[in-house]
Amino acid sequence: MNRLQPSAPALSRADSSDPAQPAPAPAAPLPADRWTAVAELGHGGMGTVRLVRDNWLERDVAIKEPRSPEAEAQLAREARITAELEHPGIVSVYDVHRGADGRAGYVMQVVRGSSLADLLGLADTPKERLRYLRPVHLACQAVAFAHAKRVVHRDLSAANIMIGAFGEVQVIDWGLAVRAGDDGDPPPPRAGTPGAMSPEQERGERLDARSDVWSLGALLRLIAPAEDAVPPPLTAIIAKATAADPRERYADAKALADDLGNFLEGRLVAAHSYSGLELLTRLLAAWRRPLLVALVALAALVTVVAFGVEDLARERGVAERRLAYVLMTQARQAAHAGRRPEATVLAAHALAREPLAEARGILATAAAGTAPERELLQTAPCDPIDVTPDGDALCLDGDGISLASAGRRRWSLAGRIERAAFLDGGTLVAAVVEDRVQRYRASDGAPVGAADAVPARARLIQGPDDGAILLWEGSRVVRVDRAATLPLPRPCGGGTVDAVALSPGGDRWLIACRDGQAFVGAGDHATHRLDVGGVAPREGHGLVHTRAFAFLGQELVMTGDDIGTLRLLALDGAPRTERATLTDAPLIQALIPLAGGHRAVALLDGAPPVVVSVPTLTPVMRLPHVGVQRVVAAGPAGFVTATPRVTRWSLTTASAEQLRFDAGVAALASDPGGRYLAVAAGANVNIVDAVTHEVRETVRWQDGFVKTVDIGPDGRGFGYGFGDQRVFSFAPGEAPAPLAGELDGTKIKRLVAIGGGEVLALRYSGTIVRLGVDRAQELIVDSGATALSASGDRRRVVISGVGGQLTCVTRAGDGTLTREVCGTLPAGLDDPAVHDQLPLVFAARAGTVEAVVVSGWRGAEVPPWAALTYRAPGTDVVAVAAAGGWLAGGGRDGTVILWRLGEAAPWAITREHERRAANVVTLAGGRGVAAGGWDGRLTFLALEGALATPAEVEERWGLTLDEVLDEDGPRP
């Protein structure tokens, strides 16, 4: 047999560090030669693939070897790209291998099975060919993973889709693949398989993910060539995937895979326009039994139609209610996917048809966040590629560009213009033609000065305010402003430049290298070096790539990676800890700072753009899920988007609808004065602004888990943790300090702040002590206490005891405490919430909350509905709060429920938490509710927002219900 040269040294055994341990039995020696060639599997223009036996691991592998020195670099590039794509549908790369001739190839998984091309050749009927739709769907999912890593395959032919004996599917032959930002020379532009190449690939143009979409659509067309035998939704998918204009195709393989999956599962397909008859047919198929009942009812209705205008109105109401539930299902899915604007439009329309508690919950959650002001500046008569803050649009017209203002073209330029952008605050336009850049006046399109040389095929990166642009290709970066074209230094040497960025004004630049270093400079020299992480391993994600950068003023840089993580870096090298993950692993494509550096917009792959606050990195607004092609700063309070609608968004105020902490929320307290909330998560107490919902500061008194917090009517907070086991006080802007007195080592279960710098502490021993900033410890209850609660204003405190006995406590102005027995909790109830005005407490029992009357509170009348039981369908309530006309509960499954007092059914329901919503508080002034969960989330609900009408919500976001239901986004 032919012997191949080993690619690695022999494996070594770990030595024992303990000489007392017996020596391990000697392992069987490894064979001297690792590889034994078995057979040749195939060969092509670049290399030969051999079936090889791995004698060390005793398995079969494949080794791909270059056929020439010229092919060696190409194979190395193929190996690096494929190794990054760790997916079941993509062939695995195991190792690099150097053959006996010294040329480097690579070791990979053996792919067994038949190609899709061979299998289709054996399929004689349309039915047999359609069996291969599911394998192509799996191939689409594999390519979608590659697109998320910014890799384009470029050769998705039927011969490169392998199907195994057990239905496993793998996409092979990544030799022509390209990665966005790769500084190596790409493969020949016309390389590929005839019939599988997109029109733009045939023309030799630069490609993106939509070229692969065309190739996948061509595969579907091979499977279903005869339109008369193909369902219309599948025909629509193929037509959209293979559209001649890339802008009319699916954005990437994930979008195609999602739509094809919908078809295979019998759901609605976004690419297909359904007729009324088709929708009715699908409805009959999906709802056969319910509709049979409805048809029987309808038949009965027809028999009495003479009696009937009133009955017809009732049937119309039934139809409206059914539509409301369908819209509510869509709203729930949109909210879960992070598409908050779309979810609110759907929920508002559902609520207009049926009083659904969950619809109110979605609206109340959204209203707690930022409510932007929206102004439509124009509908551009073209495809905008850049927009000024005033709404002038620079448009791509075939091979040329034009400038549109107020919806009308002012001028146009013909020629092979590849990239263009505004300069000098919108007074100039820079256009790139091959390897030259030319400036033009924005007012009339007249050229300004001579054209300057720039790197060929360069990417164009804009500054945050159009002061300058960067043109970047490989390791070369050129800065272009209104007057000069300046080549920047090459701090990465000959290595790959991963990303570049410009500061506001364009006077400073950042160049990030593949090795994890970034360099900041001005003019033609670098001034700082930053460690930005580069490509680094992350648990559960493999290699994580830092791809996006933005200057925030003169001191900070924000970074974003391909699993949705944001970080802040100080230009002076000082360590910073700010880090946030936006959603479930979206690739951050770009970061755009807004004026002042206090906010930034993150453009995500496959998810809506997100506005985050700086420095907390808290998301404060998500844009509608449409193709925002350009976001520009429009002053200190907003920005402009182009979709092609040109819209100005103003954020006069910004607040977060949700916060996330690194640990679960163990305790939550609301300042009775309405200034802030205290959130205990892990060893920290986070002080959260009650209006903006941002973390103003973090208090850390000790290293142990913080068990309980509360805030008194004077605004002073108190906390207790299991580390130091002392009660400490805190307030915004003040350092934490311990209270006087020792606690004898018994741990504390609950704190209630009663004003005057004092607190009552319930200990696990059943005793209650009184502590204060200037007061020694005082025993209040010597045994038997099971719970300690207070009203939202802290004027009323209730102690629960053995047997359900309730003791009401009030504090006089001189500090005197008055106690009296004031009621009894029914068996099975404990830990009641105290109302701030009514003589009631509320306690949970499984799926209900019960109200209990207490006595002794002067001026408080018992309402007629006091004995009402409040229902919590589908969840066990574990936390309760009450104030004003509202009752709130947190569920074991993370559900948060709001009731109107006196109404047993829920008024609003939210499902924002993934784990137990263990803490709920009402916000001062009746503004809403906050809930903290074991999943580390703090969510907010604004009660007024739950009453928004469909017209109000549509106006806020510039979306209609029809546009939300159209996955392609708003129509111009």
Q: What is the pLDDT of residues 471-487, one digit of tens each?
A: 988 888 999 998 899 99
Phi, psi angle pair for 614, to nearest 5° = -120, 135
Q: Which pLDDT belongs to residue 6?
A: 39
Structure tokens at 801: 């005891």
Residue type, 397: D
Q: List the one residue out of 757, 770, 688 whose CA is nearest residue 729.
A: 757
**Sign of dihedral through CA atoms 711, 921, 802, 819?**
positive
495 and 479 Cβ atoms separated by less than 8 Å: no
Phi, psi angle pair for 502, to nearest 5° = -120, 150
Domain that includes residue 202, residue range: 114-264
Q: List the one residue out of 603, 573, 572 whose CA is nearest residue 588.
A: 603
Give the least confident one: 139-143, 905-909, 926-930, 936-940: 926-930
Domain membership of residue 163 (yes or no) is: yes
Range among 249-253, 490-494, 573-577 with highest mean pLDDT value: 249-253
Phi, psi angle pair for 159, to nearest 5° = -70, -20
Query: Is 375's pLDDT higher than 90?
Result: no
Measured CA to CA in angstroms, residue 370 lies from 60, 298, 825 at distances of 58, 46, 41
Rounded CA separation 102/5 (Å): 9
Length of the chain, in residues = 972
Provide the number of structural domains found in the chain.
1
* pLDDT tens digits for range 118-129: 888 888 788 888
In 3-state terms the chain splits into helix, strand, coil percentages (rounded to 5) of 20, 35, 40
What's the chain's average pLDDT?
A: 82
Q: Average pLDDT for residues 445-470, to the nearest whole number?
A: 87
Q: Which pLDDT belongs to residue 294?
A: 55
Structure tokens at 696: 């103003």
* pLDDT tens digits for range 744-766: 678 899 999 998 889 999 999 99
CATH number at residue 150: 1.10.510.10
Domain membership of residue 4 (yes or no) is: no
Domain membership of residue 234 (yes or no) is: yes
Q: Which pLDDT belongs to residue 585?
A: 57
Residue type, 361: G
Q: Average pLDDT for residues 315-330, to the nearest whole number?
A: 83
Structure tokens at 409: 């073209």
Q: List the one residue out of 888, 894, 936, 938 whose CA is nearest residue 913.
A: 894
Residue type, 539: E
Domain membership of residue 459 (yes or no) is: no
Q: 948 has which bridge partners?
A: none
Q: Which pLDDT belongs to residue 22?
A: 47
- Higher pLDDT: 450 or 29? It is 450
Query: Is 287's pLDDT higher than 80?
Result: no
Q: What percent of the chain has pLDDT over 70?
A: 85
Measured CA to CA in angstroms, residue 666 lies from 479, 688, 768, 934, 938 at distances of 51, 15, 21, 7, 11
Query: Is 878's pLDDT higher than 90?
Result: yes
pTM over 0.95: no
* pLDDT tens digits for range 666-712: 999 999 988 899 999 999 999 999 888 888 899 998 888 899 999 99
pLDDT-derived band at 774, boundaries 50, 70, 90: confident
Q: Which pLDDT belongs to residue 629?
A: 47
Q: Average pLDDT for residues 435-448, to the nearest whole number?
A: 92
Rounded CA separation 936/662 (Å): 6
Q: Which pLDDT belongs to residue 188?
A: 46
Domain membership of residue 805 (yes or no) is: no
- Higher pLDDT: 554 or 162? It is 162
869 and 877 Cβ atoms separated by less than 8 Å: no
Q: Which pLDDT belongs to residue 14?
A: 35
* pLDDT tens digits for range 959-972: 888 888 865 444 33
Q: Which pLDDT belongs to residue 630?
A: 58
Count Cα atoms within 13 angstroms, Cβ side, for 298.
10
pLDDT-derived band at 288, boundaries 50, 70, 90: low
pLDDT-derived band at 849, boundaries 50, 70, 90: very high
Domain membership of residue 453 (yes or no) is: no
Structure tokens at 46: 């670049």
Query: Is 27's pLDDT higher than 70?
Result: no
- Those residues whose C-beta lies under 8 Å from the C-beta of residue 439, and which sit 6 or more positions away, are 423, 428, 429, 430, 431, 447, 448, 449, 482
Rounded CA separation 31/141 (Å): 40
Residue with tokens 């105020």: 653
Domain membership of residue 682 (yes or no) is: no
Domain membership of residue 223 (yes or no) is: yes
- Those residues whose C-beta lies under 8 Å from the C-beta of residue 137, and which sit 6 or more positions away, are 257, 260, 261, 264
| 3-class SS of residue 519 | strand
Residue with tokens 């499902």: 911
